[in-house]
Amino acid sequence: MSEQSGPQDAPGPEQPRPPELSGIDLARQALVAAKEQARARGAAAQQKKQARRGGGLRSGARADGRDPLPLGAAINRLITERGWETPAAVGGVMGRWPQLVGQEVAQHCEPQKYDEDARVLTVQCDSTAWATQLRLLAPTLVARLNEDLGHGSVKMIKVLGPGGPPRRYGSLRAPGSRGPGDTYG
């Protein structure tokens, strides 16, 4: 086996030459090139025009993420993006308390706060009798709240009795006295 070294670039009689364009073929090729250049100029002009208007694409005929939203939909989207579903739902419970527990219970007991980490709803009652009654109703109320808010939203209801009168300090008080504790305990 021997290798031959020689000029490989020289055209031989076997290699065909491309045909020369003339007439209509030349006109077609020029038209295609002109269309490409016009298309490129048009795209550049469109980009300049958008840059003058503030840049970026504009919303078209179909809905997309840039379209304005109704206020309620925008708030719902924000709540979902931030992960505020449970606190917002429990906040709604504060406003709908009479519908959830009934008018009679709502007159004597009102929700105070919600601890999101422990999932505990704190409710204060205006008398010890109503506090006792609400403690007995707590499992039923937790089930009703979880049905409305989603499973596991409220694990426990912490019931507070009524707040007593402010402590008065003075010479006529016994040290360590808490006031009328039998009524406000």
Mean pLDDT of residues grouped by 10 in the chain (185 residues)? 52 61 78 86 76 60 77 87 78 81 88 86 90 91 84 87 68 63 46
* C-alpha to C-alpha distance for 152 and 75, rounded to whole angstroms: 24
CB 136 within 8 A of CB 165: no
Task: Report the pLDDT value the prediction gives residue 184, as an integer from 0 to 100.
Answer: 47
Question: Which residue's entry shows tokens 């020689």?
Answer: 6
CB 109 within 8 A of CB 123: yes
Handedness of CA 94, 96, 101, 107 (dihedral sign): positive
* C-alpha to C-alpha distance for 75 and 71, rounded to whole angstroms: 6
Q: Per DSSP, which regions of 51-163 are E strands?
A: 109-115, 120-125, 156-160
Nearest one of 68, 69, 67, 50 to 59, comparing CA atoms? 67
Task: Report the pLDDT value the prediction gives residue 183, as an integer from 0 to 100.
Answer: 46
**Distance, C-alpha 38 to centroid of its chain:** 45
Query: Under DSSP, is residue 162 helix (H, G, I), strand (E, B) or coil?
Result: coil
User: pLDDT of 109-155, one tens digit each?
Assistant: 888 888 888 888 899 998 889 999 999 999 998 898 888 877 888 88
Counting residues of the chain whose pLDDT is more than 70, the rounded percentage is: 71
CA geometry: angle at 138 spanning 158 and 109, to 5°?
65
